[in-house]
Amino acid sequence: MARIAVGGFQHETNTFSPHPAKLDHFLVGAGWPGLLRGDDIERVAAGMNLPVAGGIQRLHALGHQVVPLIWTAATPSGRVTDEAFEAITSEFLTTISRHLTEIDGIYLDLHGAMATERHDDGEGEFLRRVREVVGPDLPIVCSLDLHANLSPAMFEYATALDAYRTYPHIDMRETGCRAVNLLDRVIAGEKLYKCMRRAFFTLPLTSQSTLSGAPNRLYEELERMIDADGLAAASWLGGFALADVEDAAQAVVCYGADESIVCGAADRLIQSIAAAKSEFHTELVTPAAAVRRAVVLTKEASKPVVIADVQDNPGGGGSGDTTGLLAELLAQNVENSVVAMIRDPAAVELAQQVGVGHATQFSLGGKSKAIGAEATAPVKEEFIVEKLTDGLFAGTGPMWGGSPINLGQTALLRKRGVWVIVVSNAMQAADQSIIEHVGLNPRQLSIICLKSSVHFRADFDRIASETILVSSPGLVPSDISILSYTKQGGRSSSPNAQC
């Protein structure tokens, strides 16, 4: 039996977003729990689709003792403030220092695309400081998000890394199990060679869904390669293009007992990714065209039509308050539809003052600037307040099932046939419980508009007759050519490899 320290620090940073991740965002949480300490990590996370939950469960199954440290995550946004990064890192290092003489390894649940005010490579800096405390020999194995921007520092300071293989991320818990299996092998004395390769082109979120196309085929190839080559682990990191950092690029990392086999596998996989470059393309339509098409489809469809507002996705750092799609629904007098969600705390406060059943003039959303466009204007219309909630409930879908969701004070507004869920906290609309908690049945709606890029598919594909991706402006552009990059990194054509 070994004693394994367990912790986590997760943030996906959209450096083009003007909204920073502050310490309070990590303390409170939104779609995931806020800051957890000690035994609360296992108690609260148990049963959730989180790597740390799967990792802890696997550690117990292997007969190891868990030494819980701290775990925290915040909704994707702009850069993590120095205050937040230093406070969380300091507490983590202090906590692990108290247990240093009694642990045999560390499992960390990280994202891989965190950037702070001072550090473009947040995880690399975090792992560097952990290494300073624990020394060069203690095994550190990390699970990563599929959208990680893998850096040389992360590759160097971690003994091994393993990443999600699905987008929507329905295998987060499973990834924690795989990472712990790797750690178990290292603690048992197995020497793992490692190899990193990078593909110097980036992909928008909408091109990375593993439900079909090139991503699905490439992950199938990765899994076949693991079996055929006898690799201990292999990961393809799709990267997070909304980060203007040096390491924003796709990457492959492989581990195994034979160095030549490990590097050969990494070479083949990165070549397959490069060969598929032209296949990573997703078509988006204008809000007007999307709504017109949805209205036509609803005349014969027995299931709802889903319109995904992919470029204002809070799960990618979007503000969650752009109004282009909402304005189009109202302009076309659409019936039996919902917009999930508009973040506007002031509008929620006004709804509370007005009260359920009463109507008033709202200036809804449109407070933030979008990339490549001016701020979408607020929708200034009279809405009826249909319902008020505290925004606290449990998720029910494949990704967020059992997780505590905290939307903050929430209002359901209606104008004619359009409902709007207005919230105080930003979160992407990727779980049916968000709609259900305000008293609407998603299956009985004609049109469902969701601010999400891909994760919504895990819970909404099964009830949708068709899904339309819309090009309404936001901070999460699908056309990444409009982004003003200042650091070359993932946009370089020069080869780079580490082995």
pLDDT in tens, 369-416: 888 766 679 999 999 999 999 999 999 999 999 999 999 999 999 999
Report the pLDDT value the prediction gives residue 499, as an integer from 0 to 100. Answer: 40
Q: Tell me how far apart the alpha carbons of residues 336 and 313 are, in angstroms, rounded to a whole number.
A: 23
pLDDT at 496: 35
Q: Residue 50: pLDDT band by 50, 70, 90 thresholds?
A: very high
Instruction: Give the tens place of pLDDT for each residue, 134-160.
Output: 999 999 999 999 999 999 999 999 999
What is the per-residue pLDDT across 317-342, written as a single tens digit (0 to 9) for each? 999 999 999 999 999 999 999 999 99
CB atoms near residue 2 (< 10 Å): 16
**Residues making up the chain, counted from first to last:** 499
- Is pLDDT at 316 greater than 70 in this prediction? yes
If you average pLDDT over residues 240-259, what whole number do you get?
96
Residue 29: is its pLDDT beyond 70? yes
The amino acid at 325: L
The whole-angstrom separation of Cα 82 and Cα 114 is 12
Residue 120's region, left for phi above 0, alpha for psi from -120 to 50, else beta, is alpha
Could you tell me the two tokens for 31? 């779609």
Q: Can you give the pLDDT at residue 31?
A: 79
Q: Considering the chain, what percentage of its residues have pLDDT values greater than 70?
A: 97
- For the question of whether the overall pTM of this predicted structure is more than 0.75, the answer is yes
pLDDT of residue 292: 97
pLDDT of residue 307: 98
| pLDDT at position 495 over 80 | no
Specify the pLDDT at position 375. 60
User: How many Cα atoms are found within 13 Å in the side-chain-facing hemisphere of 232?
Assistant: 28
Q: What is the mean pLDDT of the chain?
A: 94
Per domain, the residue ranges of the chain are 3-280, 287-477
Q: Find the helix or strand (DSSP H, E) in which 297 lies.
A: helix 287-298
* Cβ contact 235:225 at 8 Å: no
Query: If residue 39 lies in a helix (H) or strand (E), which one and from where to where?
Result: none
- What per-residue confidence (pLDDT) applies to 374? 62
- Measured from the Cβ of residue 381, the count of other Cβ atoms closer than 10 Å reads 17
Predicted pLDDT at 490: 42
Question: Residue 96 pLDDT more than 70?
Answer: yes
pLDDT confidence of residue 492:
40
